[in-house]
């Protein structure tokens, strides 16, 4: 083993050590990338040159402009109060069922996630709306917090998804095709969560009751109140799927659309518009710092030849590709317990993706890239609600005073089991992910 290759192998655990020491992930990757490059080249000139070439080549990517636009769309959607209207509509249609208010939280999370693209934002927003109602109607703390935390993960799975945009940039995949591939798995996730709630309240009837049946006239009236959500979704996702808009154009139209909706609802003031723009800028800067740190680290890994050597070694061993895939997905589930989704993608994909591409799954490279991207996204999503440190769990638990963290852990585990079953189904039947891509392309 060469010295450079050994340095590359040590780079990843070194980053994890810094992360465990509370160093921000972007700075941790940047520090190891700079140090590793210096160790290989024995010269600071290439290191300094990276800050000129990498900063331009990374952020000049037209695809990355989608990120702040989708984040801004989510900010305006939150300001417009659409989350409350979506939850009320879902409750009108589902509330009369056993566990119906918890089901409504899942349905509302799916609807709100379709115009936000962020799991944490979906979880935090729906937590404010749904948790008081769940408590009001006597739902158990475990089911309430577990359902809302799980529903929040739909924000990154149902298109549009910021994480999928980052994956597309890293792997040079088509963003529109990835969004298309995520659609049915996202619907399958929401249905799986509804089934979990239905089973949960039958096993433990005291965990959640039902409301009085709402007349159909009121149901359709509540549905009419959320037409802006449908309009934005159709404009953004429909425009991308049909090729009318590029993802960047669709994101810009979505941001403008949600701004007009918030303006029409008279929920905008100069102060909250400023706050929305500032919050978008801060979130974008945080994401871009992590992206740049990953670019510096990946440059070092490329110099060490680790990705190339690892891909070649995997190809030569003749391992069963399905076993390798299972190991990779389990790895993501474990890593998700200690790291946020964006960091996982940026840290691992540059190494794991070339390794997986050399294996034969009976697909074209484009088909495999889309299928593998959705599987990784699901594994990352599960990590957000996997104890002990799933990000969504802490967000929702902090919004439910009096709920022990152990109750939230207990309440979310049936949803984690649903995610694992769904992952197995999508691994066994890739056509579920790819059928819309085949249909449109």
Domain residue extents for the chain: 3-440
CB 407 within 8 A of CB 145: yes
User: What is d(CA 152, CA 381) in angstroms, rounded to the nearest whole number?
Assistant: 9
- Give 132 or 43, the one with higher predicted confidence: 132
Cis peptide before 419 (omega within 30 of 0): no
In Å, how far are 70, 177, 248 from 240, measured between CA atoms? 14, 9, 9
User: What is d(CA 276, CA 306) in angstroms, rounded to the nearest whole number?
Assistant: 41
CB 300 within 8 A of CB 36: yes
Is residue 45 scored above 80 in pLDDT? no
Is residue 215 scored above 80 in pLDDT? yes
Structure tokens at 436: 């819309």
Is residue 174 scored above 90 in pLDDT? no
**pLDDT per residue over 92-102, tens digit each?**
999 889 899 99
Is residue 2 scored above 80 in pLDDT? no
The whole-number average pLDDT for the span 306-318 is 76
Low-confidence winner among 141-145, 199-203, 266-270, 364-368 (lowest mean pLDDT)? 266-270
The whole-number average pLDDT for the span 242-247 is 83
**pLDDT per residue over 316-354, tens digit each?**
777 888 998 998 888 888 777 667 778 888 888 888 888
- Give 81 or 211, the one with higher predicted confidence: 211
Torsion sign across C-alpha atoms 124, 130, 133, 135 = negative
| Residue 319, C-beta contacts closer than 8 angstroms, at least 6 positions apart | 359
Q: Residue 1's pLDDT is what? A: 56
**pLDDT per residue over 106-163, tens digit each?**
999 988 888 777 777 788 888 888 999 898 888 999 999 999 999 988 888 888 888 8
């Amino acid at each position: 083993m060469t010295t450079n290759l050994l340095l590359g192998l040590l780079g990843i655990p070194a980053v994890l050590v810094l992360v465990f020491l509370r160093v921000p992930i972007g700075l941790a990757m940047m520090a190891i990338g700079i140090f590793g490059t210096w160790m290989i080249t024995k010269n600071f000139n290439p290191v300094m040159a990276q800050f000129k070439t990498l900063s331009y080549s990374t952020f000049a990517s037209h695809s990355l402009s989608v990120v702040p636009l989708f984040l801004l769309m989510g900010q305006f959607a939150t300001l417009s109060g659409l989350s409350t209207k979506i939850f009320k509509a879902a409750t009108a249609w589902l509330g009369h069922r056993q566990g119906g208010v918890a089901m409504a939280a899942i349905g509302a999370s799916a609807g709100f996630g379709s115009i936000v693209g962020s799991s944490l934002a979906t979880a935090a927003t729906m937590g404010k709306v749904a948790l008081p109602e769940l408590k009001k109607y006597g739902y158990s703390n475990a089911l309430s917090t577990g359902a809302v935390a799980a529903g929040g993960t739909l924000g990154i799975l149902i298109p549009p998804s910021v994480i999928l945009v980052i994956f597309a940039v890293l792997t040079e995949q088509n963003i529109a095709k990835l969004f298309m591939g995520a659609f049915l798995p996202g619907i399958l996730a929401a249905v799986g969560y509804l089934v979990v709630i239905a089973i949960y309240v039958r096993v433990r009837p005291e965990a959640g009751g039902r409301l009085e049946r709402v007349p159909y006239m009121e149901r359709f009236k509540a549905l009419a109140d959320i037409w802006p959500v449908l309009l934005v979704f159709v404009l953004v996702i429909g425009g991308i799927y049909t090729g009318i808009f590029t993802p960047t154009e669709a994101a810009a139209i979505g941001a403008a659309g949600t701004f007009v909706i918030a303006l029409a609802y008279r929920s905008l003031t100069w102060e909250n518009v400023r706050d929305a723009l500032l919050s978008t800028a801060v979130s974008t800067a945080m994401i871009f710092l992590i992206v740049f740190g990953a670019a510096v680290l990946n440059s070092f890994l490329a110099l060490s030849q680790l990705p190339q050597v690892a891909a070649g070694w995997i190809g030569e061993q003749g391992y069963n590709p399905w076993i390798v895939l299972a190991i990779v997905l389990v790895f993501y589930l474990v890593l998700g317990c200690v790291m946020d989704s964006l960091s996982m993608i940026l840290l691992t994909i540059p190494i794991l993706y070339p390794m997986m591409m050399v294996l034969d799954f009976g697909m074209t490279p484009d088909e495999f890239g889309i299928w593998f991207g959705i599987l990784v996204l699901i594994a990352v999503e599960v990590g957000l609600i996997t104890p002990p440190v799933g990000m969504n769990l802490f967000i929702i638990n902090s919004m439910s005073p009096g709920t022990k963290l152990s109750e939230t852990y207990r309440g979310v585990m049936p949803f984690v089991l649903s995610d694992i079953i769904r992952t197995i189904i999508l691994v066994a039947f890739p056509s579920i992910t790819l059928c819309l891509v085949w249909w449109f392309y």
